[in-house]
Amino acid sequence: MDVTWLGHGCFRLRGRNAAVVTDPYPPAIGLKLQRLDADLVTISHEHENHSYVQAIREPYEIRGPGEYEVAGVSVIGVPTYHDAEKGAKHGRNTVYLIEIDDIRVCHLGDLGHSLDDAEAETL
């Protein structure tokens, strides 16, 4: 697997047969994200600086907790929060466990608190 940091909370994970982009961002944040090809995109939360899917050409979008299998990529989304007040300030966040080519990567998105034992066990 090839992992490339693209700025902010955005990464591209490329395996032999599939690619994933996490938390794409808009030009308004002051960084330029080139238009990318990917099979799927994960969105940790709906703030625009983490959910600009227009930067990705026709991806399958994953926008929350659950178990997904797309293009041979396994994704588990674990519900968390964007702040330490259980989302009261900034809302929810999803942490993703992404498996490509038998390699697992955990993308925390904009996690705003320490994981509890149950969340850590899931990951």
Beta strands in 1-123 (DSSP E): 2-7, 10-14, 19-22, 36-37, 40-42, 56-57, 60-62, 66-70, 73-81, 92-100, 103-107
pTM of the model: 0.93
pLDDT of residue 23: 95
Instruction: State the average pLDDT for the chain.
Output: 93
pLDDT of residue 56: 93
- Does the pLDDT at position 63 exceed 80? yes
- pLDDT, mean of residues 70-74: 96
When the candidates are 3.40.50.720, 3.30.2350.10, 3.60.15.10, 1.10.8.80, the CATH number that belongs to 2-122 is: 3.60.15.10
Pairing of strands 56-57, 36-37: parallel
- pLDDT, mean of residues 11-27: 96
Rounded to an integer, what distance in angstroms lies between the CA atom of residue 30 and that of residue 71?
32
